[in-house]
Amino acid sequence: MTGLASSAPAERGSRSTRDLTKAAVSGWLGTAMEFMDFQLYSLAAALVFNEIFFPEFDPAVGLIAAMATYGVGYVARLLGAIYFGRMGDRIGRKKVLFITIALMGVSTTLIGVLPTYQQIGLAAPILLVALRLVQGFGAGAEIAGATVMLAEYAPVRRRGLIASLVSLGTNSGTLGASALWAVLVAVLPHDDLVAWGWRIPFLASFVLLILAVWIRSAVKESPVFEKRADVDEEGVALSREELAAAAVETGTGTLETALHQKKGRSFLIALGLRFGQAGNSGLIQTFLVGYLASTLLVDGAVGTAAIVYGSLLGFITVPLVGAIGDRIGRRPVYIALTIASMLYAVPMMLLITSGDTVLITIGMVVGLNLAVLGLFSMESVTMAELFGARTRFTQLALAKEIGGILATAIGPLLAASLTALTGSWWPLAAMLIAYSAVTLVSALVSPEVRGRDLVRLEDAV
């Protein structure tokens, strides 16, 4: 058995302000890239993929089919969360984050050169799904890894604020993708958008890939990973068998605790926290854009512009929520945000279905910041604090991706089906209330984890 690292934990995990800055930029940029890819695809699915890859279908059925290709990537994300999450807990965060960003970036760029249904028939949507699967496999651990890295780098009293940079990354990526699509929709005739314009955002993402890989290569390993009591001299976490032997040899209670704690309670709480945010995101950022254009017959530029405005406001919302969570705790902020989101669901849908462009924009902007970005800011730090260092990456990635499959992937497809069946907006309001209610219950049963020592190997509960 390889021996445990003998150097003092503080020495092994020491980092400078410059190291923290590099980690923060890397986490922000990698997450921005993931969500830019995510939003590029989701908006394309909502606006044009039904015509490019599913032109033989009825428009309503085509939208459902396009949303299904959007959702299929979540299956691959789950596999990526399992594979890369375990790798990140075993050999370190940095190596995994380098691999995931490369997988995401290359697959997204290749979507931009795909032939269409008219050119190669059924092979076109098959290739689209294949690239979506590769993209999802890499993305399954990207945001979890960035969240873990930033939380483990951050000073305790500013952990919520610094970890919120992950949420700002999602906001930046969403803003960039939405802005690109807003410009394309506003400038290009629809025929040109379908013929070639849709390719531009996917090809442009290659520039961001090069920048992200360059920055990430200079980031040091997480200081918490290096301080872990179960990491050996070679920087690799001990297996369960090796850990048991080390516990006996050293008589270390910390190792015994990590071995015998029953898992599951922290994971279920994290899953519930994720569920509401993910479900609200799928409805507000993805489905409503297509719903406005295809069902309410509102100009396609209105929905994309509203997401842009909401993302801009998010640059204030996200760090503000993170800072408030550092000051008063995670639970009170979660409880307030979820109750407000539930109360706002019906008024938001009344604004969106009013037919007035200004009211539609206000409805989506407030909804995005309240029920999506605000919750995401809290999620970034709270989920990291719930889990112990030994399995933090794996559990956090799985909670995010299972929550995504249950809520975000299925939500837009279910919303499309229910609105087509009922001819009304009320199922959307009901889904928003239900999603937020799940997160509210999870926050109520969760312990307060603000300031928890992230080097501890066991979960919070």
pLDDT digits (tens, 9 = 90+) for 368-423: 999 999 999 999 899 999 999 889 999 999 999 888 888 876 787 788 888 888 88
- pLDDT mean over 264-286: 91
Q: pLDDT at position 10, please?
A: 44
For 86-136, the pLDDT digits (tens) are: 999 988 888 898 888 888 889 889 988 888 878 887 788 888 888 888 888
- pLDDT mean over 257-278: 84
Number of CB atoms found within 10 A of residue 452's CB:
19
Domain map (residue ranges) of the chain: 15-445
d(CA 199, CA 442): 41
> How many degrees, rounded to 5, is the angle at CA 45 between CA 39 and CA 47?
100
Query: Which is higher by pLDDT, 200 or 125?
Result: 200
Q: What is the dihedral of CA 358, 361, 366, 368, to 10 degrees?
A: 180
- pLDDT mean over 198-221: 85
Terminal Cα-to-Cα distance of the chain (whole angstroms): 30
Q: pLDDT at position 365, please?
A: 95
For 22-51, the pLDDT digits (tens) are: 888 888 888 888 878 777 877 777 777 777
d(CA 92, CA 387): 16
d(CA 297, CA 278): 26
Q: pLDDT at position 9, please?
A: 46
In the structure, what pLDDT confidence band is assigned to residue 271 with cuts at 50, 70 and 90? very high
d(CA 382, CA 379): 5
pLDDT for residue 1 is more than 50: no
Q: Name residue 24's amino acid.
A: A
Please choose, from the candidates 194, 167, 145, the residue with its C-alpha nearest in 3D space to the C-alpha of residue 395.
Answer: 145
Q: pLDDT at position 411, please?
A: 83
How many residues belong to the chain?
Answer: 461
Choose the CATH number for 15-445 among 3.40.640.10, 1.20.1250.20, 3.40.366.10, 1.10.3720.10.
1.20.1250.20
What's the pTM value of the predicted model, to 2 decimals?
Answer: 0.82
Q: Give yes or no for a contact between 144 and 81, defined as CB atoms under 8 angstroms apart.
A: yes
Q: Which two tokens stand for residue 4?
A: 């445990």
Q: pLDDT at position 307, please?
A: 85
Q: pLDDT at position 382, please?
A: 95
Q: pLDDT at position 23, please?
A: 85
pLDDT for residue 454 is more than 70: yes
* Mean of per-residue pLDDT scores for the chain: 84
For 162-182, the pLDDT digits (tens) are: 988 888 887 788 778 878 888
By the 10 Å C-beta count (0-12 exposed, 13-18 middle, 19+ buried), 235 is classed as: middle
